[in-house]
Amino acid sequence: MKILVVEDQQRLGQFLRQGLSECAYTVCWVGTCREARDALAETNYDVIILDLSLPDGDDLHLLSEWRRAGFNEAVLILSARDTVEDRIKGLDIGADDYLPKPFSFDELLAHVRSLLRRQSTVKQTVITHRCVRLDLLGHTVKLKEQTVDLTSREFALLEIFMQNAGRTLTRSYISERIWPGLSDTNLLDVYMSRLRNKLEPGLGGPLFKTLRGVGYQLV
């Protein structure tokens, strides 16, 4: 399980990273809004622990921005602000849980476990984007209710994009997940061309955006 910790206090950030890592979680710790945006654009997380006192921006605006972009990671807010109004505001904007400071590490772990249980019970089996419908259980893809025949690799590639709609996915990130151990990223170009040919004509426009020298984005 992967956890993104967004905390600018050095001592607390190190404490959370070490403690969560010792509990077998994979932890990425960042200290600014900018670093948090970059981290979330790069990969998926199961839980985000978000502090509300970052030095370079409005943390709640950052959370609102994520939700508008369609990111559905579970978010646990940490904050010294503990009025009823503060908690309501954070939850209304898109947080899944709220833990006031100071807190015990065991209590934080209990909140994380609760969020992970909640996430596992609501995990999507059908993903839709625009007129494309991807059924993970049935292993089928429909475009405007018409079945699209995809190979297993094409399906896996589309799934990565559908799970990360709006995010910029680097060529290396995609290739490592579709062809682990292979260094030939030219394969990616071939499969992207196949996906475009099968999906974009029915949409009447681009489904994927190419960011030259970087990767691709589902739009």
Structure tokens at 169: 């996915």
Bond into 180 cis (ω within 30): no
Pick the CATH number of 126-218 from 2.30.330.10, 3.40.50.1100, 1.10.10.10, 3.40.50.970: 1.10.10.10
The pTM (predicted TM-score) of the whole model is: 0.61
Model confidence pLDDT, tens digit, residues 149-197: 999 889 989 999 998 888 889 888 888 888 877 766 688 999 999 999 9
How many CA atoms, within 13 angstroms, populate the side-chain half-sphere of residue 66? 26
Model confidence pLDDT, tens digit, residues 78-90: 988 878 898 899 9
Q: How many CB atoms lie within 10 A of CB 42?
A: 14
Domain 2-121 carries which CATH code?
A: 3.40.50.2300
